[in-house]
Chain A
Amino acid sequence: MQYDDPKFWRAGAISTTVVMAIALGMLTVDSLEAITPGGSHVPPYSVINRHIGYAYNGRLGRDMPVIGADEPLFGKPVTETEAAAFMERGKLVIQSRSCINCHTFMGNGAYYAPDLTKAWLDPAWDTWMAITGADTKEEAMVRFLMAPEQYATWLRKMPNLGISRDEAVATVAYLKWLSSIDTNGFPIHFGRPQTSR
C-alpha cells in the first residue's frame, strides 16, 4: 500500500533535525571543555585549598565566585589527587543519600530544602559553629551532616542518613568545590539580602 507522503515537509523535518543536532554537537564539545575541572568555568578540585568568595562583578554585570588566598579545608592542604578522591566520595554520598530529592544543586532537584550550590558560602554557618560547638565552618558542617536530627534547623528537619565522619568530610569538600563554579550569577546576590524584612 502506497501513501502520498508530503515530501516537502518530510525533507524539512529531516534537514532541520540534522542541522540542530550538528549545532548541539559542536556546542557540546566547547561546553565540556569549559566545565572540565581546570576549564574556564570550573576550577580544579584542589581549589578546596583556597578561600572562596562570591561577589558582584561590575564588568560582567553578575555575581562571580572569587578565588582568594590559601585556606585549606580542615587546615590541611591536599594534592589534586587527594582532592579528586574527596570529590569521588562526596558525589557518591550525594547520590547514595539521594540529596537531590530534597535539595537542589544549581537549581536542579527537589524543592523541599535549600539549594546547595553555594551552601559553603552561607552566612548561617557562623551561627551553626556556636550551635554545634565547632571551631571551624567545615567542622560545623560535618557535625550537622552526621546528626542532623539533633540540630533541627526549622520546622522541617533533615533525617539522619547514617553519614559517617569520612563521608561527611568528603561531602563538605564537595560543597566547597561546588561553590567555586561560575554559574553565570546563579543564585543572584547570594548572602546579600536586598532589603531588611
Chain B
Amino acid sequence: MSVSTASTLSAEARPSPEPRRWLRPGAVIDVLAHAYVWFWLAVFAMPFLATLFYSLQASGGQGGFSLDAYVYVLGSFKDNLLLSFETTVATIIINLLIAVPAAYAIVRYPIPGKSFLLSFLNLSLYTPAAVMGMSLVIAYAYLFRIPQTITGLIAAYVVGTFPLMLVPIIVALRDLPITFEEAAKTLGANRAQSFLRIELPLLGPGISAGILLTFVIIFNEFLVTLFVAGPGTTTAALRVYTLTRTAGFQPSTAALATTMQLVSFLVVLLFFQVFGSRYLKGTYLI
C-alpha cells in the first residue's frame, strides 16, 4: 500500500511519469467499484429505457421503429396531459402561498411547541398514499361534498406536498442571516418591502427546490388520484395506470409513460443545471 502511495506522489511531482501499473490490486478494486455504481445506475434508467424502446416499436410488423404511438399522446391523451399540467401548476401556486409564510414564521417567530407543530404539518408525509386516498374519499363525500371534482383533487395534492415545499424553504431561510432584514429595516423598509425585495429573491433556490419537488411528485401521482378522481378528472398518470389495468400492455400507454418521465427528467436536469443539488438535501429527492 505504501509503495502505491509513493508512486502516485512521484507521478504528481513529475509531468511525464513512468508507465502506470494497471494491474495493481487497488486498480482492480477501483474498476469493480465503478462497475458496481454503473450497474445500479443502469438499473435505475432501465425501466424508462425499456418503456421508451417499446413505445417506438412499429405496430404489427417485426422490427422497425415508428412514432405512431405518440400520435395518441397529442390525440386522445391530450386532455389528460392538460389536466395534469393544470392541477400541478395550481398545486404549486397554492403550496407557495401556504409554505412561504409558514416557513418564515417557523424560522423567524417565537412559536410555542414548534417541533410538535412541524410534525403535525408533516402528518400527510407519514400517511401512506392509499390511506390518504381512502380517508379523503370519505371526507369529500360526507363532509365537504366535493367528490370526484378538480377542487378535491387539488386539495389532496396540496395537503400531500406542501410539507415538501416547506422543508427546502426552511433550510434556505435558516442560511439567510437576519442582518439583511435588520439592514433593510434600518434603511426604512417596512416588513412587506424587506420581504419582497430582500428575502424573497435570496430564497430563490430554496423556493425553486420546493417547486421541483411538488412538480415531480404531483405530475406523476396516480394513487391518491385513483381514489379521489372521477370520470371527468383523469390525470395522465392515472390514465397510464387504468390503461395498464384494463387495456393490457399497449405501445400508446408506453408512449404516454415515456412522455411523462421525459418531462419530469428534463425539469430535474434543468434544476440541477441551474441550482445544483444543495437545496434538495434532507428532502424527498437526494
Binding between chains A and B:
no
